[in-house]
Amino acid sequence: MITCKLPHNLLFILKRVLCVLLFFCIENSLFAQTVQVPENIQAALLSKVLKFNQDLQKTANIKILVVYNKNLEINRDNFINGLDESISVKAIKPIELEKNISDYKVVYFMSGLNKEAILCKKHKVLSVTGTNQYVENGEISLGFKVENNKPRIVMNLTSLEKEEQFFSSDILRISKIFK
């Protein structure tokens, strides 16, 4: 067996480099799921997806609430600017949701804002988000995620049922479904 002695400072540097490389490899695998579909693309997709909702097909002017907080104002604006012109939008803070929800058909929750989504089930309003974990957990009914570098629609059937929302089989067929 042949052994090689490295100078102490070179060994120290190699260990540090290895730690940094290991950190970046772990970070990339742990945080790969946090990539979200950009807000303007979510809005454009939502404008199309809503046409497959049986209740909203009859509505000439769909009204959407966008729930945001101060840290998400740029994201809010990107989302609103991406919506179809035929959709009416009102942006509100989470504390304002209960007094406004009854006048709207859809509530979009910005990232990190999901606690008030229970009001959508109570008022039979469609809940939407760009954070697919909320959809997977059944907190929110409809969302978007990145899969194979492409946006994908995600739906939670149990949550949709509680909100009394029904989509055509055409959109369900191309969506990732959770129960």
Across the range 122-143, mean pLDDT stands at: 96
- Rounded to two decimals, what is the model's pTM? 0.79
- Show Cβ contacts of residue 143 under 8 Å, excluding neighbours closer than 6 positions: 128, 129, 130, 131, 132, 134, 135, 153, 154, 155
Q: Tokens 């009854």 — which residue?
A: 102
Separation between Cα atoms, residue 2 and residue 97, nearest integer Å: 71
Give the DSSP H or E segment for 178: strand 176-178
Amino acid 169: pLDDT:
94
Per-residue pLDDT of 8-32, as tens digits, reads 555 555 555 544 444 554 444 444 4
93 pLDDT more than 80:
yes
For residues 102 and 6, give the distance between their C-alpha atoms in angstroms, rounded to a whole number: 72
Q: Does residue 156 carry a pLDDT above 90? A: yes
Q: Does domain 35-178 have CATH number 3.40.50.2300?
A: yes
Whether residue 96 has pLDDT greater than 80: yes
Confidence (pLDDT) at 59? 81
Question: What's the rounded Cα separation, in Å, for the pair 53 and 4?
Answer: 69
* Average pLDDT of the residues of the chain: 86
Domain boundaries, the chain: 35-178
Average pLDDT over residues 21-46: 67
Q: Is a pLDDT exceeding 50 seen at residue 52?
A: yes
* CA dist list (Å): 49 to 70, 153, 166: 28, 9, 12
Q: Is the dihedral of CA 87, 89, 95, 99 positive or negative?
A: negative
Number of H helices, E strands in the chain: 8, 7
For residue 138, give both structure tokens: 């059944």
Residue 136 has pLDDT above 60, yes or no: yes
